[in-house]
Amino acid sequence: MDLFEAAKAVREKAYAPYSGFLVGAALRTPSGVFAGCNVENVAYPEGTCAEAGAIAAMCAAGERVIEEVLVIADSPEPVTPCGGCRQKLAEFAAPEVVVTLAGLEGPRARMTVAELLPGAFAKGHLE
Ligand code: THU
């Protein structure tokens, strides 16, 4: 499945009555594509990002390895994952995994997980 089409479709399902900012995220794993949208809450900090939803869907399917990421939003500048989502992605994605930042018309920029989160706190730090 095409990551852009998956993320674009799930973005339409976003629940964002407070910001009005719809976001979709799609992850490729060895077995398929998992997508998520942002889900806001009247208690604002309880809202969740599209990336978190996609990661939850991936884990619910038993998958643990992210091979590719695409995030889509309608914004003047390409939308990058927030700081928390960079850490969430780094849990399952190797530093060289590509994160494509897309607008409604298509991909606009590409970054790696390492570029998004240099010096990530990682499992090795726990040893
Ligand atoms: N948001 C995401 O879902 N992912 C991002 O990468 C950036 C921000 C959401 C959170 C909130 O619902 C809305 O966008 C505005 O911040």
Total domain count for the chain?
Answer: 1
> What is the tens place of the pLDDT at every residue in 44-61?
999 999 999 999 999 999
Pocket test for ligand 1, best of 23, 27, 71, 113 (most atoms within 8 A of CB): 23
For helices 3-11 and 50-60, give the axis angle rounded to 10 degrees.
110
Find how far residue 72's CA is from the centre of its chain.
9
CATH code for the domain in which residue 52 is found = 3.40.140.10
Residues having CB closer than 6 A to ligand 1 are 16, 19, 21, 23, 38, 40, 47, 49-51, 71, 79, 81-82, 85
Residues of the chain with pLDDT under 70: none
CA–CA separation, 17 vs 97, rounded Å?
32
Task: State residue 1's pLDDT score.
Answer: 75
For 14, which DSSP code?
-
Domain range for residue 112? 3-126
Cβ(61)–Cβ(87) below 8 Å: no
